[in-house]
Amino acid sequence: MRLTIQCAGLTDPGRVREKNEDNWGADAELGLFMVADGMGGQFAGELASKVVVQMLPALIRQRLTGSQGWSMQRIKRQLLNAIAKLSSNLNEQTRNEPGLAGMGSTVVCALIRGRGAIIGYMGDSRAYCFRQGKLKCLTKDHTIAQLLLSSGEISVEEASDHPGRTRLTRSVGMDGLPLPQARNLTLKPGDLLLLCSDGLTAMISDPTIQSILLDGHSLEEKCSRLIAGANEAGGKDNITVVLLSVSEALNSNDGTARQTREST
């Protein structure tokens, strides 16, 4: 069975921030889709997220040369290597630059290979799979609050408004050894993958996201409704969403087709 992936994305500054430090990108040929949320003040955050979506595809492509026939586990290792290399490069290049030291970015990405996807991430931008009407989070936030939650120090309810919810433990450009995470996912026709910055998930709950995705609208309209929901809830941060729709290819000889439709 061959799969077709369609993509739509939308980013919005929200209702409080003057600048939008989020970026998203899609490389349909590579099968790579990304969301990045920058940090660092002035223009550093915007620059960091832009570097992520511009440079990550090239780093992955270098590592996947001749990858036909590779296992998904081997491809996952190369994706992790590419994210770690990007993080180290960003840290080295900005460490002693006035106004840029300490800048960084989250990243969450989906690398599509055949009937599978590899979800890679650092920070608190998330990936979800919406399958048969149910929404499942595929990532775990790299934050102080998540560490406390995982260790049993705080409850899920306490984590939702804990001051450590916005304090990242891992990010692209971080000091020390970068430790991105990744997981494999087998795709099925009818799946929707959602990549988003925390400007969405900090404003609206997973059940609300699920209800929006249940509506039978186009990908572009679903993106708009997600953004609108976050803004209606306060829009306290930049908001970025990317939706990937998985369907069975009409022509089995076509291979894995990827069509990218962009909203800005």
pLDDT value of position 14: 98
Residue corresponding to tokens 């899609």: 26
| Secondary element (H or E) of residue 63 | helix 44-63
Mean pLDDT, the chain cut into blocks of 10 residues (264 residues total): 93 96 97 95 85 98 95 98 97 86 93 97 98 97 90 81 85 95 98 98 97 94 98 98 94 49 48
**Distance between start and end Cα atoms, the chain:** 32
Specify the residue for token string 């404003």: 203
Angle made by CA atoms 213, 10, 217, in degrees to the nearest 5: 30
What's the pTM? 0.93
Non-local (6+) Cβ contacts of 249 within 8 A are 2, 3, 4, 255, 256, 257
Domain 3-131+171-260, CATH among 3.40.50.720, 3.40.50.150, 3.40.190.10, 3.60.40.10: 3.60.40.10
User: SS3 of 259, please?
Assistant: strand
Q: Where are the domains of the chain?
A: 3-131+171-260
pLDDT on residue 42:
61
Spatial separation of the C-alpha atoms in residues 243 and 229, rounded to whole Å: 16
Question: Is the CB of residue 39 less than 8 Å from the CB of residue 21?
Answer: yes
What pLDDT, on a 0 to 100 scale, did the predictor assign at position 121?
98
Torsion angle of alpha carbons 64, 107, 243, 42, nearest 10°? -130
Question: What tokens were used for 35?
Answer: 């969301």
Name the token pair of 227. Answer: 């953004």
